[in-house]
Structure 1
Amino acid sequence: MDEEFRTLTERVRASLSTPQETAAHASLLALVRQGTPAAREQLARILVAPEQPLWARETAAFVLGSAGDRRAFETLVLLLNYREPARCATAARVLARLGDPRTARAAAALATNPLRTAYSLHPIRLLVELRAAESVPSLVAALERQLAARDRHWVIARACVEGLGAIGDERAIPALTAAAQHIRLSAAAAAALARITGEGAVTGGGAPEPAGKGGAAEKVGEARVP
């Protein structure tokens, strides 16, 4: 966690643009270093106080969430689906540590929201890590939506495929079988199916592929698909 906090601090410091912001950030770090119950209460107030900069809320949520304080939950969920991937990744790691029972439901809602698909990578990865009751149904729903879409987010679809393979639940077999018909997903889907069924990897319903061929085939396919 110390290394993660250092990375967060450096990222925030690089985004500050005025002497006032730099001074406010230094004061916040001094508060964090106190590590007292009173300091924690002040951090919790930052989460709900008006006109607080996002970097201050993120820092406070990181510290509180890493300490198991569930008052950080709402801010972390907001950051989990934010437009900046670094903030999403940090929030996902802290939410996994926090252990709040609401986390899986929140991640599932974000992963399956069709209006936020472009920002759903980290909610999807969090669902895979949590292995919660919501994980497989949400990943299947997100994958099926991508397979049916006109403009697909291939990174999101692939994350669903790989996550379902990692979880290894047989309920994912129909969606993964459908994903295997798409050249950009065929190798990953075949590998996921093999993990679930224990059988040799196949792509696109064809014969079993020799080891190592899937990655090359996928790259050739990607060159042909706009």
Structure 2
Amino acid sequence: MLRLARAAVPGARAAGAGAGAGPPETGDALARVLGETGRPLWALEIAAFALGCARDRRAFETLVFLLNYRDPVRGGTAAHALVRLGDPRTARAAAALATNELRTAYALHPVRLLVALRAPESVPTLVAVLDRLLELPDPHWPVALACVEGLGRIGDPRARPVLARAAAQHRLRPAAEAALARTGG
């Protein structure tokens, strides 16, 4: 992805190499791509990814847009860059996307991002999403499984009640039992 950014944007040679890498005009050239109208989505994605990996907060809004996009590859790429970006707004944005009932099918990457961030919002959001999914006759299994696995990875005891309910679902049982063991339950 970074090679594409370097090829697509003149002056983007050092983008993504780390915070403060390269001359300031490198980030400025990539940020201009984000602000220009008529740019194709792939160009925005490349510029936002490079800026995010370089910890340039000008990429935040575009990365959140891509995290909410219906293409899973774009969502995964955006989540990776958002973790590297380190913006304190990220957890709140991921929580809002994960709990949006109209976008549950696209919540996989926001859920995984919350797990990676381990922010104060992570456990309450994952518990709420999983609780809501378990109420449905046919939950979005990949999202529910990501919640279960994420809660297990975090290991917070507040997740025990919802993990116990998840263990009653045959598709979630192995992951839920493992997660319960990690939470001390």
CA contact 2:6–2:12 (8 Å) conserved in 1? no
Structure-2 change in CA distance of 1:152 and 1:192 (3 Å): same
Deviation for aligned residue 1:81: 1.6
Match of 2:130 in 1: 143
Match of 1:47 among 34, 44, 51: 34
Alignment partner of 1:66 is 2:66: no
Relative to 1, partners in 2 of residues 1:193 and 1:53: Cα closer, same or farther, differing over 3 Å? same
Post-superposition offset of 1:29: 4.1
Which of 105, 120, 125 is the equivalent residue of 1:118? Answer: 105
TM-score (norm 2): 0.90
Q: Which residue of 2 aligns with 1:191?
A: 178
- Looking at structure 1, the residues matched to 65 and 92 of structure 2 have their Cα atoms a distance apart, in angstroms, of 14
CA distance in 2, matches of 1:151, 1:50: 41
Instruction: Quote the Cα distance in structure 2 between the aligned partners of 1:104 and 1:26.
Output: 29
User: What amino acid does structure 2 have at the position aligned with 1:183?
Assistant: H
**C-alpha distance in structure 2 between counterparts of 1:162 and 1:38, whole Å:** 42
Partner of 2:2: 5
Alignment correspondent of 1:31: 11
1:206 corresponding residue in structure 2: none
* Residue in structure 1 matching 2:94, options 100, 107, 116: 107
Q: Deviations over 1:158-197 (max 9, x none)?
A: 1100100110001000000111111111111111001111
Show the 5 A alignment for 1:155-174. Answer: 155-174=142-161
Determine which structure has greater relative contact order: mean sequence separation of CA pairs < 8 Å that are 6+ residues apart, divided by chain length: 2
Aligned to 1:214: none
Residues 39 and 118 from structure 1, CA distance in 2 versus in 1: closer, same or farther, beyond 3 angstroms?
A: same
Detail structure 1 runs of 4+ shifted over 4 Å in the superposition: none
Cα deviation for residue 26 of structure 1 reads: 8.2
Q: Where in structure 1 are there 5+ consecutive unaligned residues?
A: 10-24, 200-226
- Across the aligned residues of Structure 1 and Structure 2, the Cα RMSD in angstroms comes to 1.7
Once the 2 structures are TM-superposed, how far is the Cα of residue 59 of structure 1 from its aligned partner?
A: 1.0
- Change in Cα spacing, 1:186 to 1:27, as seen in structure 2 (3 Å) is closer
The letter of the residue matching 2:84 is: R
Matched AA of 2:94: A
CA distance in 2, matches of 1:39, 1:186: 49
User: What is the deviation of 1:139?
Assistant: 0.2
CA distance in 1, matches of 2:93, 2:179: 25
Q: Tell me the TM-score normalized by structure 1.
A: 0.74
Identity %: 62
| d(CA) in 2 for partners of 1:102, 1:44 | 19
